[in-house]
């Protein structure tokens, strides 16, 4: 059988490197204790492998750094803006583009002009800042994931889909008139990095148009979703990832995008719109809060890096290599006796901490406990997506309603770690899996009222 380099090798070689930290076990123990047992509070120079987020953590290319030198820093009408606008417009097909410094800024601007207090925003799954920004304008976020998403072990290819029957039932029911927006997240970050099928996007679009409800994409990982569609949806097997992405954007009335993911940059985002009146309203908000509408809080060199990054991210060789690397890591972790949400996505793997640590109840936060143990044993930083993040608490920070699953997200930065780094993560997990009962639970000491997981402080139970 011939060897296929594209399935084994990333389509780049490393030109610049950055040192990583190797703390002793005692130094890690002291560091996590000082951080209130919250990985978000750790210093970057206390981390060996950082899998906390794939947002803004990727490596830029030589081409991106070269074009950054062309950055035009004019306050209005910069050349860099027009290059960025033309690239985004060509990719998405939207006539109106507004730059923002990151995705949550785009959410704030868009939601404040699309949603009113008392309305409902429906999604396949709102992620944390999206959920918060919906609530901050007085609206109510409602998640309608497909039924297949509830089976973490199944190999269903599109577990990121929205439940079309549930959506239609909501729109036809007594609360249908309250729905102000349907927002589809591609890929579905909150449910295991699972993709959304083109068939589901098309059907959702048709349903929203029939009910005259705006349909938008939260498209931070549009290229990775396109690759998984290319691989898993037979009708798109012969279509290039960029074509698939453009087709997906075409089903929606607009989008909000963090380009800190598939923009291959440390900063940036945009709002894409079809409606001129909505564009005018969002533009006024943008100018008042983010910056003039030809820079939106971004420097000219950022706009240049982003325009180039949007060309590179839809390269099928890049996407194939990234997907293959994540799949190899998943196999190593599964072979070590740790279950992950199946099938493997691209930007992250989700560990089933509840299954690995059955001796810990949801109130003892098994996902968070596993994340802390990964740091204590190997200097690995990651994020919990379980009852600490998603559970309902009372005023004393006691768990009232647990999350449906106790997960840990290993988010993989783009073009940063080699397979050897990821093999190390799997080896640390394998060691934990040999004696999982040594992992202790945690309790909350203090927490903010919103987006609890970012600034919560905890302590171990033993």
Q: What are the residue numbers of the active site?
A: 75, 127-128, 218, 220, 261, 453
**Exposure string (b/e) for 131-160, b if CB count within 10 Å is 16 or more?**
bbbbeebebbbbbbbbebbeebeeebbbbb
| 135 within 8 A of 124, measured Cβ to Cβ | no
Looking at 118-253, which runs of residues are DSSP E strands? 120-123, 140-143, 179-185, 215-218
The DSSP call for residue 340 is B
* Secondary structure element (H or E) that encloses residue 460, with its range: strand 457-460
Taking the C-alpha atoms of residue 223 and residue 245, their distance in angstroms, rounded to an integer, is 6
φ/ψ (deg, to 5) at 57: -110, 5
Taking the C-alpha atoms of residue 60 and residue 259, their distance in angstroms, rounded to an integer, is 13
Helices (H), 252-296: 276-289
Question: Residues 385, 388, 391, CA angle at the centre, nearest 5°?
Answer: 95
CA distances 359 to 35, 334, 355, 404, 435, Å, are: 25, 20, 9, 17, 12
Taking the C-alpha atoms of residue 225 and residue 346, their distance in angstroms, rounded to an integer, is 9
User: In the structure encoding, which two tokens stand for residue 335, read together?
Assistant: 């072979």
Q: Is 211 exposed, middle or buried (CB count within 10 Å of its CB: 0-12, 13-18, 19+)?
A: middle
Question: Residues 68, 291, 56, CA angle at the centre, nearest 5°?
Answer: 50
- Nearest Cα to 139, choosing from 123, 124, 117? 117
Taking the C-alpha atoms of residue 187 and residue 220, their distance in angstroms, rounded to an integer, is 8
Other residues' Cβ atoms within 10 Å of the Cβ of residue 267: 18
SS3 171: helix
Instruction: Using only the alpha carbons of the chain, give its radius of gyration.
Output: 22
| 107 within 8 A of 130, measured Cβ to Cβ | yes
SS3 384: strand
* Secondary structure element (H or E) that encloses residue 312, with its range: helix 300-312
Taking the C-alpha atoms of residue 27 and residue 42, their distance in angstroms, rounded to an integer, is 12
SS3 2: coil
């Amino acid at each position: 059988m011939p060897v296929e380099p594209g399935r084994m090798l990333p389509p780049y070689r490393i030109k610049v490197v950055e040192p990583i930290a190797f703390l002793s076990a005692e130094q890690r123990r002291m560091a996590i204790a000082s951080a209130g047992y919250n990985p978000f509070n750790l210093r970057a120079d206390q981390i060996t492998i950082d899998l906390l987020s794939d947002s803004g953590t990727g490596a830029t290319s030589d081409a991106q750094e070269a074009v950054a030198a062309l950055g035009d820093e004019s306050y209005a009408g910069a050349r860099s803006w027009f290059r960025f606008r033309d690239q985004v417009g060509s990719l998405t097909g939207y006539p109106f583009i507004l730059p923002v410094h990151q995705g949550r800024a785009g959410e704030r601007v868009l939601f404040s002009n699309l949603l009113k207090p008392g309305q409902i925003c429906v999604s396949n799954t709102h992620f944390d800042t999206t959920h918060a920004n919906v609530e901050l304008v007085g609206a109510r976020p409602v998640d309608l994931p497909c039924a297949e998403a509830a089976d973490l072990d199944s190999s269903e290819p599109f577990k990121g889909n929205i439940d079309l029957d549930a959506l239609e039932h909501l729109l036809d029911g007594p609360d249908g008139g309250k729905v102000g927006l349907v927002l589809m997240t591609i890929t579905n970050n909150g449910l295991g990095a699972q993709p959304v099928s083109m068939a589901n996007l098309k059907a959702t679009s048709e349903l929203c148009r029939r009910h005259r409800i705006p349909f938008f994409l939260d498209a931070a990982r549009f290229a990775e979703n396109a690759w998984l569609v290319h691989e898993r949806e037979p009708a798109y097997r012969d279509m290039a990832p960029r074509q698939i992405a453009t087709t997906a954007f075409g089903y929606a009335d607009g989008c909000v995008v963090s380009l800190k993911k598939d923009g291959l940059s440390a900063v940036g985002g945009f709002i894409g719109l079809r409606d001129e009146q909505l564009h005018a309203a969002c533009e006024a908000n943008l100018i008042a809060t983010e910056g003039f509408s030809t820079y939106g809080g971004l420097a000219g060199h950022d706009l240049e890096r982003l325009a180039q990054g949007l060309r590179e991210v839809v390269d099928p060789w890049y996407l194939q290599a990234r997907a293959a690397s994540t799949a190899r890591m998943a196999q190593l972790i599964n072979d070590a006796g740790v279950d992950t949400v199946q099938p493997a996505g691209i930007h992250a793997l989700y560990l089933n901490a509840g299954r690995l640590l059955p001796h810990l109840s949801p109130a003892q936060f098994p996902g968070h406990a596993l994340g802390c143990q990964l740091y204590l044993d190997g200097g690995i930083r990651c994020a919990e997506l379980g009852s600490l993040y998603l559970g309902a608490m009372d005023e004393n920070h006691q768990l009232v309603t647990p999350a449906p699953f106790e997960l840990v997200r290993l988010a993989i930065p783009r073009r940063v770690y080699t397979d050897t780094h990821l093999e190390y993560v799997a080896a640390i997990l394998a060691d934990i899996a040999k004696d999982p009962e040594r992992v202790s639970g945690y309790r909350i000491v203090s927490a903010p009222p919103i987006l609890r997981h970012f600034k919560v402080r905890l302590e171990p139970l033993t």
